[in-house]
Structure 1
Amino acid sequence: MQELWLVRHGESVGNVAATAAEATRAEVIDLATRDADVPLSATGAEQARALSAALNEGPVTPQVAWVSPYLRAQQTFALSMEHVAGMEGVAGTEHVARVERVLTDERLRDRELGILDLLTRWGVAARHPEEADRRARLGKYYHRPPGGESWADVSLRLRSFLRDALADDAGVGLVVAHDAVVMLLIALLTGMDETRLMQFASTNTVLNASVTRLRLENQQWRLVDFSDVSHLAALGADITVHPGSPDARPE
């Protein structure tokens, strides 16, 4: 593996609901669907289709893809590959990539929030003030909500994923997952400690349907592109900023 591309799913209906709840200072995000089954919004589907150019038509393209089992990630990958289906042998499409292997990997699922699931920052403060105090004392990297995961917990399962993925003989690999997963994979590959990761995440957002690229150079992984959405701008697709639940992010 010489390059690893990290894609965040397109805008989901959960992103929209969470942003609306935060804007109105509601305590609970209005979402009946469990996290694993949250679909893309109409805008997210448009963004996913716009990903095609970034993933399939450059001089270097992925040969293997690992996708989170969550619906929004599965839909993002499927829509980004729609235009290459049935194009085998079509003149002028020799440069279009065809991912040879697609693997669903549960280690790429989004961070689990336990009892804080579907709560805004206002909801956490009102309904679980003891957890807000614990989070302030422990820091967001190590705070584990009851029934959920800390960022350190997610890092552990991602270390396991990387051990398998980086041993693959494909030159370029693709991961389609979630903002926290993208942030933590960057940290693990580039050697960021807790302090550096928190500083980086506090000033950088993984945008919906963005592409982050890392390259192996002289036995070290280097961040080449972060949260690139030029493919969205080129096709006139909306660029959306949805950090999601405040407890799911490190700032």
Structure 2
Amino acid sequence: MDTVSQLTIVRHGQSTANAAFADAQARGLDDHGLTGRDADIELSPLGWQQATHLGRWLATQPADQHPDVVVCSPYLRARQTWTQATDTAAAHGTRYPQAHIDDRLCDRLMGDLELLTPLMIATRFPAEAARLAADGLYTYRPPGGETFNDVTARVRAVLADLNTRHPGQRVLIVAHDAVVVAVRHILEELPFADLDAILAITPITNTSLTRYAHTNGRLDLVEFAAMPHLTQEDQHARLS
């Protein structure tokens, strides 16, 4: 077998930035009060609850579905999600692997626009807002930041390493919605325009799971943005 046997990507729980962005947008504010680095953004109270629900669900899964290897984004919100989930699962008698950190699984780098909402960009960087509108979300490169092709390149390298180092094993990634988009673009060869249409119907909700299984020499999509561990109340945080 030349690939991993199963690949699961979990998006982190709702972050304080997810919540602040949504609040600012709902109230039409051009500031959300957040400072610091995106990499240091923590889980919100809802995010902790989501990670706890994920852990309870993980505790119910059969041993032959547990990941052999877990790889995590270096961002705090992703690390907190897996730590909370595995601590919860352990409290229910089920132990999961500790995560290996891979810097290539970070969120899309936004450079000078880091932690800015669309309204904040329009107010502070109107020329960039116009360029974003002209280029489109996936091809736009923020000053000092990445296009989605850049994200895809580093995620592709991660997948190649996982296939080389862990063929035939079950692998779980804890990361960001941008990573999920990149994985679908790579494994299914879906154009970004097609992915955008899919996301308009099925957003990559916080702590949702996207899973691929090895069949006929390749990894095929089994489920996308699934939320078996979340209640309807928890599922409202569909934030980018």
TM-score by length of 1: 0.85
Aligned to 1:241: 237
Aligned to 1:80: 85
Q: CA deviation at 1:206?
A: 0.8
For the pair 1:204 / 2:207, whether they are aligned, the reply is no
For the pair 1:67 / 2:65, whether they are aligned, the reply is no
SS at match of 1:223: strand
Aligned to 1:232: 230
SS at match of 2:116: coil
Give the one of 89, 101, 106 matched to 2:103: 106
Q: CA deviation at 1:28?
A: 2.7
Distance 1:22 1:6 in 2: 28
Distance 1:54 1:164 in 2: 29
CA deviations on 1:155-197 (whole Å, 9 max, x unpaired) are 1111111111122135211000111111211221111123322
Aligned to 1:137: 134
Give the one of 123, 147, 150 matched to 1:150: 147
What is the correspondence of 1:138-217 to structure 2 with a 5 Å cutoff?
138-167=135-164, 168-169=166-167, 171-217=169-215
CA deviations on 1:59-87 (whole Å, 9 max, x unpaired) are 31111100111111001000111144488
Does the 8 A contact of 2:209 with 2:226 survive in 1?
yes
Comparing 27-36 with 52-61, greater Cα deviation is found at: 52-61
Does the 8 A contact of 1:51 with 1:231 survive in 2?
yes
Aligned to 1:43: 46
Distance 1:224 1:151 in 2: 24
Distance 1:110 1:175 in 2: 13
Does the 8 A contact of 1:205 with 1:241 survive in 2?
no
Does the 8 A contact of 1:11 with 1:240 survive in 2?
no
Does the 8 A contact of 1:114 with 1:147 survive in 2?
yes
SS at match of 2:236: coil
Which structure: greater helix fraction?
2
Does the 8 A contact of 2:205 with 2:238 survive in 1?
yes
Q: CA deviation at 1:56?
A: 4.2
Does the 8 A contact of 1:52 with 1:80 survive in 2?
yes
TM-score by length of 2: 0.89
Q: How many residues align?
A: 234
SS at match of 1:155: helix
Distance 1:243 1:200 in 2: 15
Does the 8 A contact of 1:28 with 1:118 survive in 2?
no
Give the one of 104, 114, 117 matched to 1:117: 114
Kindly tell me: are residues 187 and 53 of structure 1, through their superposed partners in 2, closer, same or farther at Cα, counting changes over 3 Å?
farther
What is the correspondence of 1:15-54 to structure 2 with a 5 Å cutoff?
15-54=18-57
Q: CA deviation at 1:241?
A: 2.1
SS at match of 2:71: strand
For the pair 1:6 / 2:9, whether they are aligned, the reply is yes
Aligned to 1:248: none
Does the 8 A contact of 1:49 with 1:80 survive in 2?
yes
Kindly tell me: are residues 241 and 25 of structure 1, through their superposed partners in 2, closer, same or farther at Cα, counting changes over 3 Å?
same
Kindly tell me: are residues 211 and 224 of structure 1, through their superposed partners in 2, closer, same or farther at Cα, counting changes over 3 Å?
same
